[in-house]
Each structure stands twice: as structure tokens, then as C-alpha cells.
Structure 1
Amino acid sequence: MFGFGKKKKYTEQENKLEFTFEPRTINKGKETIDDMSLIKSIYQGYVVTKTGYLVAIIETTGINLELLNEEEQSYAFETYNTFLMNTLGDSSKEKQQYLDITMPVNFEDYILAYKKRYLQETNPARKQLIASYIDYFNSKVYRNEMSTKRHLLVIREKITDKSLTSLDKKVSDLDEKVNHYINRLEDAFEQHDLQAKKLYADEIIAVLKNLFNYNGK
């Protein structure tokens, strides 16, 4: 009896650590974004989903194919295909998601620099000119009139259970995978000066906010 009781207690503890959430049909107008979203939280610069995955987002610079001749374009596509085969493969369970999204240009640092110049400027004419620049860029930000394309690669690792030990283990695994992907991308497209970087918490939040509400209204 005692041994059976211990086994039952252990099984109940295991069940509590399992990821049991399953995506369902969205009940429009009656649920919050948090209720509808698959995102549980952000941990160590990664997204934790309710379905038990740790998700990383890698951003890359783009390649302007219009500036390449036909042979160079073919080589770029072949290089990309080789990258996919090396990271996915025929028998691999690895999954990737590629996103090309339009986001408003971030002028915050630019505007802040002008504000500092405004405070330091003593010439009234220059001060007025700087103020007009600040007003101009603030209006652009407010109306979302300037945007840019961002190229994102999303990869993931399955978390074994809800324990902190499992989560930290997958953080370590995903750190290694992210570095591996970044190195492969930059090496493969070195002649195009492609650069890749991992997005961190504040950058991920900005991307998610843009996907939920591009106009910011």
C-alpha cells in the first residue's frame, strides 16, 4: 500500500509538470489577447509557449536580388537551399519559420540625439531648426509613415516539462542552436555581407506588439 501510494503521488507530480495546453478556436470579442495567445512568457531572451516550446527569433539583413545578375541570383538561391538542407534535412524533425514583416522605423535614438543637441545649442536660429527636425520625426513616428522590412527566422526547442531544470536545459540547448544558425548564415552569405543576430526580450516584445497591432491604435 505504501509503495503504491508513493507511485501515485509521483505520477500526480509528473502530470502537473506536463504541458497539456492545446490550441483552440479563438472566441472573438470574448477573450483577452493573453487568453488567445500561445505565448506564456519570455525567459532569458526566449519566448515560452503554452504548448511547451522555447522559441528563439533570429533577425538577418536582406539581400537585394535586383542588384544581382542572373548567375549571382542562382548562386544565392542555391546557397539558401544548401542552408535549408543542412539545418533541416530529409529526416530531421527540426522546424523553422521565416517571417518578412513590415515594421515602423524606430526613430527613438535619432530623436533623442536631436533633443540633446537642442538642449546644448545656444544659437537661436539653429535651435529653432533642430526643434523643427524633432517635430518632423515625431509626426512621422505618430503616423507610422515610415516603415522597413525585417527578416526573421524562428526556431524552437521542445521543453521536457514545466520544471525550472528542464527550462534552463533548453535555454542552454537553444543558445547553442542559435549560435550555430547565425554562424552558418553569415558564413554561407559572406559575399553578400549578410549579418544575423538573436533578438532579446525588448526586441521580441516590439515585434509581437507590431504583429498584434501595427497601427498602434
Structure 2
Amino acid sequence: MTKTPLTYGSAAAADDAELALMGLIAYQELTAFEHLSSDARLSPTLVDRETLGRFAVKEFGHFEMVRERIAERGLDPQEVIEPFMASLDEMHRRTKPGDWYESLTKVYVIDGVAADFYALIASGLEPEVRTLVHEVKTSQANTEWLRERLQLAITDRPERASRLALWGRRLLGEALTQAREIGEKYDYWGALQLEGPDGRGQEMTRLFARLVENHSRRMRQLGMTA
């Protein structure tokens, strides 16, 4: 499937979209650091704990990178980041994992959907922002470790599969709701250069279809139905 870049209607709209995206990414990376640090302490083995601790350090490095990019524009990072704090905190409150394996599934699902969302929104922005999104995206090595660790957990106890698949569907719903609310609140859709009276709806439909398609592919790789 060919991926058509999103495009933005004016320089001012693009600037606003860039700042909003950087603020969103910065807080997402900071909360990822916090949750991975907590998950590491609950790890069943020392190797698991070490691995998640390493992931957490990388996420904090990503946060610092985005914060510095915001500051380079002469802006206060806290002012750019703060508008996203309440909504992201509320999403995490609603998706509190029940155990360590649900925590891993949450990282796998939420990070995947978030990375796709960032990339799709950034596809119509300046190369600098697209590069930033690429730099903070969860590495393939991290994704593969999460996948392998979850597959091992399911092999060890097959009954986990149905529970984690159901959890994954709930996480997808929360992630899509969050993406839609943020997109509307910070006018990602309004900034897009849309053709015709139905352009906005078509663009949103196309974007969310990609998010669901990519999520389904990642869940199939776990041997689960999305």
C-alpha cells in the first residue's frame, strides 16, 4: 500500500502543528520513561529488569532531545508540553496494567500506535520534524525484544494469549480515542490541506485505517487476533 504524505495548508498551520507534535512527543517519551522504570522493578528476572531499565534510559534521552529542539526555537518547553499532560495522564490511568505481561503488551501496543501516528502527522511537515520523529521512534530491536518476550510468556502459559489479545484490543481503542481527541483539539486535521467538503473526513479515515492496519500486523506477529 502506497503511503501518501499528509500536507498542510499554510506555513502558520504547519508551525503550530510542529510545535504541538513536539510537545506531544516529549510528554509521551517522559511518561514512557516513568512507566518502563516502574515495570522494570516488577520484572520476573534480572535480565528482564536490566532490559527494561535500558529502554527507560533511551526514552528519557528522547525526551531530552525533543525538549532541546523546542528550546532551540526560543520557546519554554514546559509551556509547549504542558497542554498534553492531563489527557495523556488520564489515558494511562484508564489503562493501568494488571500484571507485568499486560505492562509489556501496553508498551508494545501504545508505542506502536503512537509511533505510527507521529510519523503520519509529520509526513507533511518539515524534514527536521520528520527526522526527529524517526530518531525518537522505538527501535526495531526494542520491538523485537517485546515481541519475543511476550511470545515466550504465551508459550509458557497458553491461556495468557486470549487475555492479552483482549487487553490489546482495549489498548488500541484507547490509543485511537486519544489520537482523535488530540488531533481535533490541536487541529492537526484543520491544518491539513484537504480537497473538497469531505476532505477532512476522508483524511481522518485514511489515517486511522493505517493505524489499525499496522496494529493488526503487529498483533499477528504475536500470534494474536487484533
**Superposed pair shares fold, TM > 0.5:** no
Query: Which one has a larger percent helix, Structure 1 or Structure 2?
Result: 2
TM-score (norm 2): 0.31
Bigger RCO of structures 1 and 2 (CA < 8 A, at least 6 apart): 1
More strand by share: 1
